[in-house]
Structure 1
Amino acid sequence: MTTTPAKRAAFRSFAESTAEDWAIITPQLEVTQAAVPDRVLEQLRYLGSDHGGYPVDRLEHSLQTATRAERDGRDEEYVLCALLHDIGDALSPYNHEAIGAAIAQPFVSEANHWMMAHHGYFQGLYFWHHLGADRNARERFRDSPYFEHTEEFCAKYDQVAFDPDYRSEPLEHFEPLVRARLASAR
């Protein structure tokens, strides 16, 4: 069986594009967005092959963080953020927070987005002094309305999620959440 390729726009630059071109392109956004849950799950699986020297691999850390939040009664949006907060670790460890926050931004509250984007500074409280860095770097954000929200996330869920004996839920447990929350824009 032969399939007809999808119609494509004809321009070579945005300046040459027409309304007809954009009538072809615009509906494809939902097609691309529908594939996001599969791509996010794939990126999470990659974390399973990277321990970075930690007691558990990066996927297990994410699963522990999300499981702890879920078991503590946090809502689905928060649990999703807990699961995705370190998804960027394998792609860009020095600014991994920005990756998870960017993926989640269209689907989460401003507070949860801010928490994801800034959690690295808040984690520093627990170990940056061992690296010769300022463990209180998070204090520069003290005036944020989301300071305590992020502080609590790190204290209760993120910084404690390196326990090889903790029994977290498997990624498959969170798959329906990822699919439901990321499949289409709100």
Structure 2
Amino acid sequence: MSQGKTVSFSQMKDGTKEDYMLLRELEKPYHALTADRILDELRRQGEASLEGYPITRLDHGLQAATRAERDGADLDWIVGALLHDIGDGLAPQNHDRFSAEVIRPFVRWDVAWVVEHHGIFQMLYYAHHYGWDENARERFRDHPCFDSCAEFCERWDQSSFDPDYDPKPLAHFEPMVREVFARKAYDPEVLREGYVSRLTAA
């Protein structure tokens, strides 16, 4: 394909098979750089913190991922912990769902589910201070990932705002991020729909 070649249509419905084959080929290099964009966003999270927190959002993710690794969690859980708040920059009001969509094509379904729902599960710790329902997560009590999400929040998320904790640096996790985002998107052997994994080695 020649440099700068474009499709023939101005409305998608008018596109030909050749147009869409061209787009599929041209998308491959962009898809290959997904991990780079994720890592860049993490670095941006290290440049400034949300007001009031003693650490940056990057430090929070690094603490969560380090705790997961030290607990013996596997690759999917470690990367899920690292990226569980990756959506904060663009979607602060629904960052949990945004973050889940970033990782969903590349990790087990239970990890994506936990990241998607960690926001409502975290309400257990603070919602009563605002007059909200701290037990809102109970609506998911019968879901097979309920206990995983509760454990994720307790062990790795709510505890990771500690300025005295010693997380591993982003460089330590970079190869893990690259490995996960190099996977084939939506590969059933990766997603393992219906399988609920352990968070820790214990």
Give the TM-score taking structure 1 as reference length: 0.94
Map 1:134-149 onto structure 2 (within 5 A).
Answer: 134-149=133-148
CA RMSD between the two structures: 1.2
How many angstroms apart in 2 are the aligned matches of 1:109 and 1:117? 13
Cα shift at 1:99: 1.5
Letter in 1 for 2:49: H
* Cα-to-partner distance string for 1:109-154 (whole Å, 9 max, x where unaligned): 1111110100001111011111221111111111111100100000
What is the total number of aligned residue pairs between the two structures? 183
How many angstroms apart in 2 are the aligned matches of 1:77 and 1:184? 12
Aligned to 1:42: 40
Mapped pair 1:171 → 2:187: no
Map 1:13-162 onto structure 2 (within 5 A).
Answer: 13-52=11-50, 53-162=52-161
- Does structure 2 conserve the Cα–Cα contact (< 8 Å) formed by 1:33 and 1:184? no
Cα shift at 1:56: 1.0
Letter in 2 for 1:158: D
The runs of at least 4 aligned residues of structure 1 exceeding 3 Å deviation read none
Which stretch has the larger CA shift, 159-168 or 22-31? 22-31
Cα shift at 1:49: 2.4
Higher helix residue share: 1
Q: Note the residue ranges of structure 1 that are not aligned, 5 or more in a row.
A: none
Give the TM-score taking structure 2 as reference length: 0.87
How many angstroms apart in 1 are the aligned matches of 2:131 and 2:160? 23
Cα shift at 1:92: 1.4
Aligned to 2:194: none
How many angstroms apart in 2 are the aligned matches of 1:116 and 1:82? 8
